[in-house]
Amino acid sequence: MSQFWIYFQIGLQHVLDIKAYDHVLFLIALAIPFSFKDWKRIVLLVTLFTVGHTMALLLSVMGIIVIKVNVVELLIPITILITALFNLFTAGKSNKKESINLIFFVTLFFGIIHGLGFSNYFKSLLGGSASSKLLPLAEFALGIEAAQIIVVFVVLILSYIVQTVFRFSKRDWTLVMSAFVIGVVLPMIIDNEIWMR
């Protein structure tokens, strides 16, 4: 198997791993307010998230950013919670397009946080100089991007089915799914080991 496929598959598995579902939860929260007609915007958001994720890995691999694992493990579910809460407060409101630049910036920033959560594992996979890590990092990022697009596509299909077959309004779908994400992510925040000290 070529090196490209090795790191590409690691990127795919990083997102699609059932045991590490925080990445999928964030993508669900990110995608639920959108529909297929918004595909350019959601692909741009996903790509910005991947760019942030990759920047964090690169800075971490090069030793520029070092952050405690338990802090990142708390920040990741907080980013998911913030995204889901944003959906709750903006569901059904027409001014969503006006805040899209803020959403782009926040998504990039959240990508950085999520990337830091994977940085220690990724560093352990790689050896050698920083320059020798750039190609595997790019291959990994492509795997991340592909997996994220798969997840978003599934969310958009479910959204379409729920809104057309079951006649849910877009607002109700956004509210229900955001509440679901919040219900899953709150225990992740409450049970974080940072509170045990």
pLDDT of 197 > 80? The answer is: no
* Contacts (Cβ under 8 Å, ≥6 apart) of 148: 15, 23, 27, 46, 49, 50
- pLDDT at position 10 is 93
Domains of the chain, by residue range, sit at 7-192
Residue 131's pLDDT is 58
Give the up-direction half-sphere exposure of residue 79: CA atoms within 13 A in the CB hemisphere. Answer: 29
Q: pLDDT: is 181 or 126 the higher one?
A: 181
| C-alpha to C-alpha distance for 179 and 176, rounded to whole angstroms | 5
Per-residue pLDDT of 73-96, as tens digits, reads 999 999 999 999 999 999 877 655
Does the pLDDT at position 196 exceed 70?
A: yes
| Residue 130: band (very low, low, confident or very high) from pLDDT cuts 50, 70, 90 | low
CB 90, CB 35: distance < 8 Å:
no
SS3 126: coil
What percent of the chain has a predicted confidence (pLDDT) above 70?
93
Question: Would you say residue 102 has pLDDT above 60?
Answer: yes
pLDDT computed for residue 132 by the predictor: 74
Task: Quote the CA–CA distance of 83 and 102 in Å, as a whole number.
Answer: 12
Instruction: Please list the alpha-helical segments (H only) found in the chain.
Output: 3-16, 22-31, 39-61, 69-90, 100-125, 134-164, 170-190
Q: What is the pTM of this model?
A: 0.92
pLDDT digits (tens, 9 = 90+) for 31-68: 999 999 999 999 999 999 999 999 999 998 888 888 88
Long-range contacts of 6-10 (CB under 8 A, 24+ apart): 6/139, 7/136, 7/137, 7/139, 7/140, 7/143, 8/139, 8/140, 8/142, 8/143, 8/146, 9/143, 10/125, 10/140, 10/143
pLDDT (tens digit, 9 = 90+) per residue, 146-173? Answer: 999 999 999 999 999 999 999 999 999 9
